Amino acid sequence: MLWRVRTTLPDRPGTLAALARRCGDAGVNILGFQVFPGIGEVTDELIVRTPYGWEAPRLIELVDESGGSRTVVLPSREAALMDQPTRYIRAAQMIIERPMSFPEVVSRLFDTAAEPRGGDDEELDVMEMTVGEMVVHVRRRTPFTATEHARGAALADLVSDSLRRSAGRDAVDPAQAGTTSLEYIVDGTAVTAYAGHDAVGRVTLISGPQGDDEITYGISLIVEPAWRRRGIGTQLLVDAARLARGRGAEALVITTAAEDPAVLPLVLAAGLRGLIRLSSDELTVRVPVARLKPLVR
């Protein structure tokens, strides 16, 4: 079985050799390796194949007895064996081609999908990046190194730059969108987009957690397939934020699966400020609405 092992070793000659020797004696094959330098100590990440029947605790014990500390062991995939510079070049190419694939790219690069699910959020380490008007938090239990923070920031800058460059290219062409005018009608807690007499999109506010000091709403949003990629979802999201403000809310909170490809493009295209939290299985977007102009019926 393949495992991803991350451990911290003292920064002195021979420590890595001692770990490699212990692995070899135990029949553990080191297939991949990368180093994250630090001051006084070094974080090493190894992709290893263990003999049949090995489990994570046994591998942790072996590494710690070889001088490692703060060792984390997680199941790994064959993709982790790809050369690391190649992985980041591929990631950059994907971001340039599709900036909205950022959550997918980040999740793959920093192995959040391999993290164990559940548990206490206070145990999660956070890497913060800024994309457009949104702050993005990537969370996992394995601590991020300074090198990974630098890589994440560089990727976020690339996303922001790609979004600025593509803003004009991705604008809806009126000739392609058709001549039908759209009307957005507010009805209670919902906003519906109409093309003539046909409803082509709708967003509905859903009551969220309400604490002593704050009211929040979630949303249910749908756009008919034939009317997508025309800015309707973006406008509905903005209207929902303003409608929530008109009902006294402090924020919209949208929660979906981490692999959902639709949420981040929608939020970034709307130009709203807020916080995106990405972990192993969940993507949460929090959009403060206090400064927006309320939308009322």
The CATH classification number of 2-80 equals 3.30.70.260
Q: Mention every residue, 6+ apart, whose C-beta is less than 8 A from residue 24.
A: none
Distance CA 112, CA 138 (A): 8
Residue tagged 């692999």 (tokens):
259
In the chain, beta strands by DSSP E: 2-10, 29-36, 41-49, 69-75, 125-131, 134-140, 182-187, 190-195, 198-207, 216-223, 251-257, 274-278, 282-288
Is there a shared CATH topology between the 2-80 domain and the 82-173+184-297 domain?
no
Q: Is the torsion defined by CA of 114, 117, 120, 122 positive or negative? A: positive
Flag whether the pTM goes above 0.75.
Answer: no
Asked if residues 50 and 14 have their Cβ atoms less than 8 Å apart, the reply is no
pLDDT tens-place string over residues 8-44? 998 888 998 999 999 999 999 999 988 888 777 899 9
Range of weakest confidence among 128-132, 219-223, 246-250, 267-271: 267-271
* Count of Cβ atoms closer than 10 Å to residue 2 Cβ: 16
Asked if residues 30 and 20 have their Cβ atoms less than 8 Å apart, the reply is yes
Q: How would residue 173 be classed by pLDDT, with cut points 50, 70 and 90?
A: very low
Residue, of 172 and 233, whose pLDDT is higher: 233
Pairing relation of β-strands 2-10 and 69-75?
A: antiparallel
Q: Per-residue pLDDT for 172 more than 60?
A: no
Q: Which helix (H) or strand (E) covers residue 105, if one does? A: helix 102-109
Residue, of 18 and 178, whose pLDDT is higher: 18
Q: Which CATH number fits domain 82-173+184-297: 3.30.1280.10, 3.40.630.30, 3.40.640.10, 3.40.190.10?
A: 3.40.630.30
pLDDT tens-place string over residues 134-164? 888 888 888 888 888 998 899 888 888 877 7
Residue 57 identity: P
CA 49 to each of CA 17, 172, 182: distance values in angstroms, whole numbers, following the listed order? 18, 50, 58
Distance CA 18, CA 25 (A): 11
Residue boundaries of the structural domains of the chain = 2-80, 82-173+184-297
